[in-house]
Homo-oligomer: A and B are copies of this chain.
């Protein structure tokens, strides 16, 4: 069944929109804002707020009834491809698969200096009560911190005989994160280890659906939990038998 946004009643379609136009506040600017709203599919759009910003910009808040609808049942929703496992289970899988500790290498790469997200996944303390990968007895975690170049990371992956490489990317302006993630993938390919590692990326503005286009085994987004990452790693080595690496 098709649904539309719910403002105050079923199917009223009401949505709120705000944007700035590079126009001085004027009737023409209003008309332009309404025209854009119509193009977005807002029926009977109302400009409820217009604020001049300096003398060549105008900020608008609008409400309107969206003409578009969507049938949620027809949408492809990614089922999480791996099962969530308890730590003991994860450790057991690793032991069985690798017969040694799994080596997990993590870094925030390129010019990105953010480490809180990476540490949330790696460090013993973890995130929101969920312990990090360091707490798994069958993992050996090497946290390289931030601002690590793709080359250094690839070199360390070889040196440490890494089973998994975890890349954190927080800064997204001008698509910096995509560029940095690609650099790591290319460096791993160039050094011939891409197929020997599970390659995982993460950051608040990434979503799992980007895994394929980025050539990663898995991308994690906002609010990712260490236990999810650990479960994925266990599932991945089990299902793909990377123990040969």
| A residues whose Cβ falls under 8 Å from a Cβ of B | 3, 5-7, 10, 14-23, 27-29, 31-32, 35-36, 39-41, 46, 57, 66, 68-70, 72, 75-78, 205
CA distance A7 to B21 in the complex (A): 9
Q: B15 to A16, Cβ gap below 8 A?
A: no
Tally of this chain's copies: 2
CA distance A27 to B27 in the complex (A): 41
Residues on B with beta carbons closer than 8 Å to the beta carbon of A75: 28, 31-32, 35
Chain B nearest Cβ from A233, distance in angstroms: 21
Of the candidates A10, A32, A39, the one having the most CB atoms from chain B within 10 angstroms of its own CB is: A32
Chain B nearest Cβ from A177, distance in angstroms: 12
Interface pairs (29), CB distance under 8 Å: A3-B21, A3-B23, A5-B19, A5-B20, A5-B21, A5-B36, A6-B20, A6-B22, A6-B57, A7-B19, A15-B17, A15-B19, A16-B17, A19-B66, A23-B72, A28-B72, A31-B76, A31-B77, A32-B70, A35-B75, A36-B66, A36-B68, A36-B69, A36-B70, A39-B41, A39-B70, A40-B40, A40-B68, A41-B41
**Closest residue to A72 on the B side, CB-wise?**
B32
CA distance A125 to B62 in the complex (A): 31
New A-B pairs, 19, CB < 8 Å, besides A3-B32, A5-B36, A36-B69: A3-B21, A3-B22, A5-B20, A5-B21, A7-B20, A10-B22, A15-B17, A16-B17, A17-B17, A19-B66, A31-B72, A31-B75, A32-B70, A35-B70, A35-B75, A39-B70, A40-B40, A40-B41, A46-B205
